[in-house]
Amino acid sequence: MLQVSDIDTYYGNIQALWGVSLRIDEAEIVALVGANGAGKTTLLNTVSGLLHPASGRIEFCGKRIDGMAAYAIVQLGMSHIPEGRRLFPDMSTRENLQLGAYPRRLWKHKEKTLEEVYKIFPILKEKESQLARTLSGGEQQMVAIGRGLMSMPRLCIIDEPSSGLAPVVVDEIFQIILRLRNEDIGIFLVEQNVQQTLEIADRAYVLENGRITLGGESKELLQQEVIRKAYLGL
Amino acid sequence: MIVRVLDIGIAGLLLGGIYALIAVGLTLQYGVARVLNIAHGEFIMIGAFITWSLYIIFGINPLLSLAICGPAIFTIGFLLYRTLFRRLRISSASPAAFEGSSMLACFGLLFIIQNLAILIWGADIKGYSYLAFPIRFWGQTFAANRLITLGFALAIGLIFYFFLTWSRLGKAIRAAAQDAAAAELMGINIDQVLALCFGFGALMAGLGGTLLSMSYKIQPTMGLEYTVIALIVIVLGGLGSIPGSFIGGLLLGLVGSIVTYIQPGLSLVAYYLLFMLLLLAKPTGILGK
Ligand SMILES: Nc1ncnc2c1ncn2[C@@H]1O[C@H](COP(=O)(O)OP(=O)(O)OP(=O)(O)O)[C@@H](O)[C@H]1O
Ligand SMILES: [Mg+2]
């Protein structure tokens, strides 16, 4: 479904990604792990069109997207739930969610989609008229994920959903991610929480200093010495 | 005494309605599109002069001019953003750099528009008389055109408020104001939305100009004073807050009317004083965070 081939991404003159290649198949959870500053967010932003690679190509559902604007890529069925949630702080939960269905073709059915999202996150229905900035961290992350689902994506890119959340809430978020995969949504997941992430992911890639250094089945990666040393502290 | 207070209050609202309209326009341009439009007042001036010309030359009813000036000036604003400001935004290294370069570009616009207006209409003060008959209520008399001005300003403000609150595009505008990159991830075409905002800002200025010309004298150099007033109002109301600008506009109108009652000619001085006091006491404005 997503094919990234040999991309280089720069911030001005500084190169942040070096020849990155990876793929994600339908309804698969693929994790991307790496240290702070490795370039994970940069890679996600390049895929979703917020940044553009200087070279290489990105294909999504058979379409070349590496030159497309982010707003146009959303309409192809990719949704990017950004690092730090990035809700619209002065809008209600409900309005934040509605905006996830902004493309015209989705806007018509937004109330129906909203009901579906409330089924996944019943707490959000209770808080639907509360301003986003007054929600708790966990609730905000749920709004961010729910908002990403409002565009009925085939691929969901999620950047560090567990950051700043209590362990119980993190478990809840991971359960929801599993549930999305079972509803045939592909997931591209960036996480600091390596152990838990590799447990739910089908496959994973390791990014170091802007380069993919390792990739494979997550079960196998969990057994590998380098991973256990560097990311699991074993 | 009570009659006098009422008199000053209503006169203040009459003035404030226009301030509110033009300040909402500037909020859209600065609060959302990030262009500190120093040439805002020039769009007001153009609106006023087009209305004047249409009335004097073709006898077109100034209220009808609202429907002519509005779309025309909206289009100018929209195209200006699509060409000039969009390019500046893309080539600017940071949002702060864009604010600087776009403000300088607006300075250029100010001189270009003002000089073109002087070429076309001459530098003299102009005016016309339209619906200038008095209307009496609560024992007071008011010029009909001022009441109509207030009515239209309030109606335009209200319609725009509902548009922002309820419509799909209105929600996109608010989202873009709060987090442009996140809005883009929702599928919102930011360039388009910012250009629309700049266009709507110009539209408000143009309509304000049309309404102004119905009860005040106009001249090609009138713009800057209104730019300054709009700037004061958007700080007063809280930068980026549309309801804040509207309320701030009405409030500043009241202040102006009180000061004019005490000492005509000092109102602009009073606005500056208020502005500086506000910056010291509550820099975030009335509805700011
Ligand atoms: N806007 C930017 N301008 C310049 N350099 C940037 C910018 N954003 C990120 N970088 C640099 O690019 C590199 C990769 O950053 P990125 O945010 O992608 O890392 P990350 O893996 O997501 O880290 P974290 O785990 O902390 O979120 C870092 O060295 C960072 O300093
Ligand atoms: Mg990151």
Is B32 among the domain residues?
A: yes
The partner residues of A215 in beta bridges, in order of sequence, read A205
Is B117 among the domain residues?
A: yes
Task: Identify all chain B residues contacting A82, using CB atoms and an 8 Å cutoff.
Answer: 181-182, 185
Pocket perturbation via mutation, ligand 1, pick of A20, A33, A40, A43 by most ligand atoms within 8 A of CB: A40
| Contact yes or no for B31/B241 (Cβ under 8 A) | yes
Q: What is the pLDDT of residues B179-191, one digit of tens each?
A: 999 999 999 999 9
Q: What tokens does B58 get? A: 């073709």
Q: What tokens does B204 get? A: 């408000």
Q: Does B66 touch chain A (CB under 8 A)?
A: no
Q: What is the pLDDT of residues B14-41, one digit of tens each?
A: 889 999 999 999 999 998 899 999 999 9
ipTM of the prediction: 0.93
For an interface test with B, the pick among A87, A88, A140 (most B C-beta atoms closer than 10 Å) comes out as A88
Strands A203-208 and A155-159: unpaired
- Ligand 1 near A32 CB (within 6 A): no
Is B48 among the domain residues?
A: yes
Residue B140 has pLDDT above 80, yes or no: no
Is B134 among the domain residues?
A: no
**What one-character DSSP code corresponds to residue A14?**
E
| Contact yes or no for A228/A234 (Cβ under 8 A) | yes
Answer whether B186 sits within 8 Å of A99, measured CB to CB.
yes
Residue B243 has pLDDT above 90, yes or no: no
**What one-character DSSP code corresponds to residue A2?**
E
| Cα separation values, A50 from A88, B46, B183, Å | 18, 38, 11
Is B260 among the domain residues?
A: yes
To which H or E segment does residue B18 belong?
helix B2-26
Count the domains in chain B: 1
**What one-character DSSP code corresponds to residue A133?**
G
B61 lies in which domain range? 2-123+143-281
- Amino acid letter, residue B220: P
Q: Would you state the pLDDT for residue A192?
A: 85
Q: What tokens does B227 get? A: 């730019």
| Contact yes or no for B214/B148 (Cβ under 8 A) | yes
How many whole angstroms separate alpha carbon A219 and alpha carbon A199?
A: 7
Q: What is the pTM of this model?
A: 0.90
Sequential pLDDT tens for chain A (234 residues): 999 999 999 998 999 999 999 999 999 999 999 999 999 999 999 999 999 999 999 999 999 999 999 999 999 999 999 999 999 999 999 999 999 999 999 999 999 999 999 999 999 999 999 999 999 999 999 999 999 999 999 999 999 999 889 999 999 999 999 999 999 999 999 998 888 999 999 999 999 999 999 999 999 988 887 777 777 776
Neighbours of B176 (CB within 10 A): 25
Residue B147's CATH number: 1.10.3470
| Average pLDDT over all residues of chain B | 91
* Distance of CA A234 from the midpoint of ligand 2 (Å): 24
Residue B151 has pLDDT above 70, yes or no: yes
What strands lie across the sheet with A186-190, from one edge to the other? A78-81, A155-159, A186-190, A29-33, A203-208, A211-217
Q: How many helices and strands, by DSSP H and E, does chain A display?
A: 11, 10
Shortest Cα–Cα distance, B285 to chain A (Å): 17
Residue found under tokens 């198949």: A25
Q: Report residue B1's pLDDT band, with 50, 70 and 90 as the boundaries.
A: low
